[in-house]
Amino acid sequence: MLAVSIAVGHALDEKTLSTTLYLQQTFDQDQRTLATDTVIINWVLKDGPDAGANTIGHAEGLTTHANLAKNWWVTIMDMVFDGGRASESVMGGTGELTVARGIINYNIIRQDNSRIFELCIDVYYTSPQSILVSNICIFISGHYRNFC
């Protein structure tokens, strides 16, 4: 039998990140068909909705037509930022956002030969540096060990 107990301090020292990004979907340029109703994406992330906005990264992943009757699509993507910024996602991530979770609300604000999505992102996370492990105890088949 193996039992592990970890005493942790500051586990609820949450931080919030709220930001707005813009995703540009160009139908004939940033995506390719993988199968019927499934598309591999590499859409451009920008810091504004206008043509002169800076490209700050890419949204990479895939999207599939999950419900034809209701025209619902499911999209799975990583947001990879240029210029040395870390990857960020709402479920997990790297660095500061390792145990992040949150929500992305979007609006389509332009649609012609491409689409511009306004992404309103709210992320909640606990910085790995703020989690203080004060005591770890392990019990293995009748033997108890305390690691301090």
Mean pLDDT of 85-112: 71
Cα 12 to chain centroid, rounded: 20
Residue 5's pLDDT is: 41
Residue 47's pLDDT is: 92
Sequential DSSP letters for 104-144 = EEEEEEEESSEEEEEEEEEEEEE-GGG-EEEEEEEEETTEE
Q: What is the residue-averaged pLDDT of the chain? A: 76
* pLDDT tens for each residue of 4-31: 444 444 445 778 888 899 999 988 889 9
* pLDDT tens for each residue of 117-134: 999 988 888 776 665 555
Residue 124's pLDDT is: 84
Mean pLDDT of 88-114: 75
Residue 109's pLDDT is: 94
| Domain total in the chain | 1
83's tokens: 């210029």
Domain that holds residue 36: 2-147
